[in-house]
């Protein structure tokens, strides 16, 4: 089995490049850490480039993939490669999948200028939990960043990630797949459109959605809040709205 013991090994430096958007874009690769997350990506047949394991994790790594794909590294080397404060001892590099074709656009969620990786990962995880296969990222943070991968708990392996501009979305959106902007006030209840084939649009954490984008949506929805609260966190609001939109389908299970 291949082994690497130096933090300065060129292969390790190449993995560390994937900590940053520029490196991921150039190499078209991303990092996944931890057993559950790596397992999920493998189960959805994402192309594995390499699996790195500390000595005590090598037997576990061999249960995931054939030995030819595994490199044993020291804990010191793993700590350099990892983006977490407490590395699990398992780190995989996967290829970023190609952008889906627009004819694969289905009901789901549009993340419009979501800047926080934790919020993005949480919203992707909610979409996956509600069995939506489409997540459109518009001008937000990189969905393939380690923090988004971690926050999604690897569930983004099971959804199609569209990364595009707002105008591209408007241009390619299907007529029978309306956009509903999630706004603080003045919209319908999410339950009013429950069961409809639609895309829920969640805006930026601080500024919300640009007014021009809201105007281009087919409708607006608002979460009723009887308590004295002006607004909710973007991830919380988006998750609640998506759940309420899905309630009829959930009840049918």
Distance CA 71, CA 92 (A): 10
Indicate the range of 56-70, 204-218, 223-237 predicted with least confidence.
223-237
- The DSSP symbol for 98 reads P
User: Structurally, how many domains does the chain consist of?
Assistant: 2
Question: What is the domain extent for residue 52?
Answer: 2-95
Element housing 78 (H / E):
helix 75-81
Using CB atoms within 10 Å of the CB of residue 118, give its burial: 0 to 12 exposed, 13 to 18 middle, 19+ buried.
middle
Backbone angles phi, psi at 140, to 5 degrees: -105, -165
Q: Is the overall model pTM greater than 0.85, yes or no?
A: yes
pLDDT above 70 as % of the chain: 96
Same domain, 69 and 124: no
Give the tens place of pLDDT for each residue, 144-193.
Answer: 999 999 999 999 999 999 999 999 999 998 888 999 999 988 888 888 87
Whether residue 156 is found in the same domain as residue 218? yes
* 118 and 227, same domain (yes or no): yes
Return the CATH number at 25. Answer: 3.30.1330.30
> Which residues fall within 8 angstroms of residue 18, CB to CB, at 6 or more apart?
24, 27, 29, 30, 31, 93, 146
């Amino acid at each position: 089995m291949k082994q690497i013991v130096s933090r300065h090994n060129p292969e390790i430096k190449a993995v560390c490049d994937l900590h940053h958007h520029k490196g991921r874009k150039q190499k078209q690769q991303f990092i996944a850490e931890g057993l559950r997350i790596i397992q999920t990506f493998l189960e959805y047949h994402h192309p594995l480039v390499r699996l790195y394991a500390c000595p005590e994790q090598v037997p576990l790594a061999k249960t995931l993939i054939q030995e030819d794909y595994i490199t044993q590294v020291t804990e010191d080397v793993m700590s350099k490669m990892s983006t977490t404060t407490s590395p699990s001892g398992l780190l995989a590099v996967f290829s970023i999948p190609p952008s889906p074709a627009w004819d694969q656009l289905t009901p789901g969620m549009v993340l419009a200028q979501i800047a926080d990786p934790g919020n993005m990962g949480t919203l992707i995880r909610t979409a996956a939990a509600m069995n939506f296969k489409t997540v459109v990222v518009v001008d937000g943070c990189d969905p393939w960043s380690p923090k988004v991968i971690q926050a999604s708990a690897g569930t983004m392996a099971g959804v199609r990630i569209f990364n595009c501009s707002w105008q591209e979305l408007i241009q390619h959106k299907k007529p029978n797949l309306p956009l509903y902007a999630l706004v603080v006030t003045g919209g319908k209840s999410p339950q009013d459109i429950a069961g409809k084939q639609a895309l829920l649009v969640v805006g930026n954490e601080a500024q919300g959605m640009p007014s021009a984008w809201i105007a281009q949506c087919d409708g607006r929805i608002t979460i009723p809040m009887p308590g004295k609260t002006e607004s909710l966190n973007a991830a919380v609001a988006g998750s609640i709205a998506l759940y309420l939109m899905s309630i009829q389908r959930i009840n049918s299970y």
